[in-house]
A and B are shown apart, each in its own frame.
Chain A
Amino acid sequence: MRLTGAYLLRNKLSLAGGVIAGAYLVLATIVALLGERMLPYNPYAQNFAATLLPPSVTHLFGTDDLGRDIFSRVIAGAPIDAQIAFIVVLVSLALGGTLGAFAGYFGGVVEDVVMRVTDVFLAFPALILAMAVAIAIGPGLINSMMALLVVWWPWYARIARGEALAIKNSQYMEAARAVGLKNIQIIARHVLPNILMPLLVYATLDISNVILTGSILSFIGLGAQPPQPEWGRMVFDGQDYLSGAWWMSVLPALAIFIVVLAFSLFGDGLRDAFDPKLRRR
């Protein structure tokens, strides 16, 4: 079952991904809690004497067109994407997962309705749809989070419904009916706990997608608004200076890239860890 070479390689990568993702989360938490006090510079402080300085010892990532220290901004911006990603994923998981569980368990009209609704959402690429919703409700960080929420839950509903269908006719489900439990009780006690694992694995992989999509929304101006140090927004802000002060865009973009890759690899490894185990069981 194990292609030893490839598996170990992926394993090491996903371990590395996990470490980096973990470090990112720790950093984001610290910043969120302690605020800007621990940063070398105030991320909002403008300094027209020090605009567009290249990376140096005093300014690790250089400065932007308003003289703000990019390194401090990047650190300060860390919790933003993390918060959005986790909220979106968790709410989608809860909402979509529950809806999907109901759909799979009850079947019939309930399933048809939920599935057709998710079909509509899933017909569009998540980014396009998120953009459409963001445009409709206006720019802003909270608004972009709402847009993401609207667009993200159908995936979880689909997975949850599939998993619920798979276990619907297991004997322990039949036993639960035979024992006299109400449908609600059966869903709460048996369906949800049993579909949780695959949903969680998908969610871990998904975090990287949300971070990326959120950044892109900000990149096109729909999400974070100035002067918020959100990474996607920073890439947007630095567009005009790419030929000269490339560090304005490239370094925040690099940060996005590293974090997204880290979560992606970690989620991959997690999924692999669960897949053969599921088969073994």
Chain B
Amino acid sequence: MQSQPVLSVTDLVKHYAVGRASLLAKRLGRTKRVLHALDGVTFDVARDETLGIVGESGCGKTTLARTMLLLTPPTSGKVRFREKELTALPNDELRKLRPKIQIVFQDPISSLDSRMRVRDIVAEPLVAADVKDRAVIRDKVAAILEKVGLSQDAMNRFPHQFSGGQRQRIGIARALVCGPEFLVLDEPTSALDASIQAQVLNLLRRLQKDMRLSSVFISHNINVVCYMSDRIAVMYAGEIVEMGPTMSMLSKPSHPYTQTLLASVPRVDPSQRRANTEITGEQPSPVSPPSGCRFHPRCPYAFEKCSQMKPEQTVVAPNHWAACHLLTK
């Protein structure tokens, strides 16, 4: 089933200049320090597929969400949507493509303009896509609101009159009203209570199937990512360290960080309490990431090569690779 991927990201890099620097020094490229938010991320998303991205704070997943859609210009790297290379497009053409590649944000409160009515918020992508016919706009908004489970009288109300879960539905409605082909979900349920989270996740799953969406689902919560994704990529310190189909990742986690991550997730079963976990230490500073394999300072299996050379991607199962020197020994 080899068809062209819907979205493909190649060697995406995002560095931020940090520290005091005069305007002139910045222009000349001389700044004190560089924050390595993303350091060469590559992946594809196929039609109808959901790729999950999981990692802890500081791993770069939020930056990835923004940079992937060019909401922040990448430092280098390419992003292709269908045949078009987004990174090479002039601003105006990129803007016109946006209704097709949408994003749902994490915070349902701040991602909606509190001064606008719901119908105007949801209609925005249509406005951006130059749809002028009011009747068409009204119909599409009504249709999508129903699809996400909100009543029609929600249209004339303001965001603060809704609960967190409902606001997130509004955000989802906004993302979907133009019938996008690709969707980025940046921690869409992290701010919601467990019982509401279940509702929203189920809704998302249904919508993805109905509307044949390809998506990237980003979260720090492994359980949720596994539930929502067909394939999973684990990020650490701005890089993907392991990627593969969900089942394969769960049954055969090959990178020590993935193993640690899976081991640290609290199981909802007290009989499975683990005696100890081997992980120590904290996330590395993105300003001066460790040499060689970025995980080596915390890795229980680290050996000499790990601090000297970056590990290559090694295939461990069909469509499943991990970047670890242990695998090439």
Direct contact between A and B judged by beta carbons closer than 8 A: yes
The reply to whether B103 and A178 form a contact with Cβ atoms under 8 Å apart is yes
The reply to whether B98 and A178 form a contact with Cβ atoms under 8 Å apart is yes
Closest to A177 in B: B71
User: Measured between alpha carbons, how far is A172 from B103 in the docked complex, in Å?
Assistant: 12
A116 at the interface (CB under 8 A from B): no
Enumerate A157-210 residues with CB–CB distance to B below 8 Å: 170-172, 174-182, 185, 189-190, 193-194
Q: Which residues of B contact A181 (CB under 8 A)?
A: 95, 124, 127-128
Q: Which residues of B contact A189 (CB under 8 A)?
A: 113, 116, 124, 127
User: Measured between alpha carbons, how far is A175 from B116 in the docked complex, in Å?
Assistant: 13
For chain A, what secondary structure do more than half of its interface residues adopt (helix, strand, loop), or is it mixed?
A: helix
| Partner pick for B128 among A171, A185, A190, A193, CB 8 A cutoff | A185
Closest to B101 in A: A178
The answer to whether residues A180 and B111 also contact, given A174-B71, A174-B105, A175-B174 and a CB cut-off of 8 A, is no
Give per-residue flags for B241-277: 1 if the beta carbon is below 8 A from chain A beta carbons, else 0.
0000000000000000000000000000000000000
B165 at the interface (CB under 8 A from A): no
User: Measured between alpha carbons, how far is A171 from B95 in the docked complex, in Å?
Assistant: 18
The reply to whether A179 and B112 form a contact with Cβ atoms under 8 Å apart is no
The reply to whether B124 and A179 form a contact with Cβ atoms under 8 Å apart is yes
Q: Which residues of A contact B98 (CB under 8 A)?
A: 178-180
Give per-residue flags for A249-278: 1 if the beta carbon is below 8 A from chain B beta carbons, else 0.
000000000000000000000000000000
B96 at the interface (CB under 8 A from A): yes
A-B pairs with CB below 8 Å: how many?
62
The answer to whether residues A179 and B113 also contact, given A171-B105, A174-B71, A185-B127 and a CB cut-off of 8 A, is no
Query: What's the tally of chain B residues with a CB closer than 8 Å to chain A?
Result: 26
The reply to whether A190 and B113 form a contact with Cβ atoms under 8 Å apart is yes
B129 at the interface (CB under 8 A from A): yes
The reply to whether A180 and B125 form a contact with Cβ atoms under 8 Å apart is yes
**Taking the nearest CB of chain A, how far is it from the CB of B44, in angstroms?**
21
Enumerate B68-87 residues with CB–CB distance to A below 8 Å: 69, 71
Give per-residue flags for B272-314: 1 if the beta carbon is below 8 A from chain A beta carbons, else 0.
0000000000000000000000000000000000000000000
The answer to whether residues A179 and B111 also contact, given A174-B105, A185-B127 and a CB cut-off of 8 A, is no
Enumerate A32-53 residues with CB–CB distance to B below 8 Å: none
Give per-residue flags for B87-110: 1 if the beta carbon is below 8 A from chain A beta carbons, else 0.
000000001111100110101001
Q: A180-B96, A193-B116 are in contact. List 16 more A-B contacts (CB 8 A).
A: A171-B107, A172-B110, A172-B112, A175-B103, A175-B105, A175-B171, A175-B174, A176-B124, A178-B103, A179-B98, A179-B125, A180-B99, A181-B127, A182-B95, A190-B113, A193-B113
Q: Report 26 cross-chain contacts, Cβ distance below 8 Å, ordered by A residue.
A: A171-B105, A172-B110, A172-B111, A172-B113, A174-B66, A174-B71, A175-B111, A175-B112, A175-B171, A175-B174, A177-B71, A178-B71, A178-B103, A179-B98, A179-B102, A179-B125, A179-B174, A180-B95, A180-B96, A181-B124, A181-B127, A181-B128, A182-B95, A185-B127, A193-B113, A194-B113
Q: Which 9 A-B pairs have the closest CB atoms?
A: A180-B98, A180-B128, A171-B110, A171-B111, A172-B113, A181-B128, A179-B125, A179-B124, A178-B103
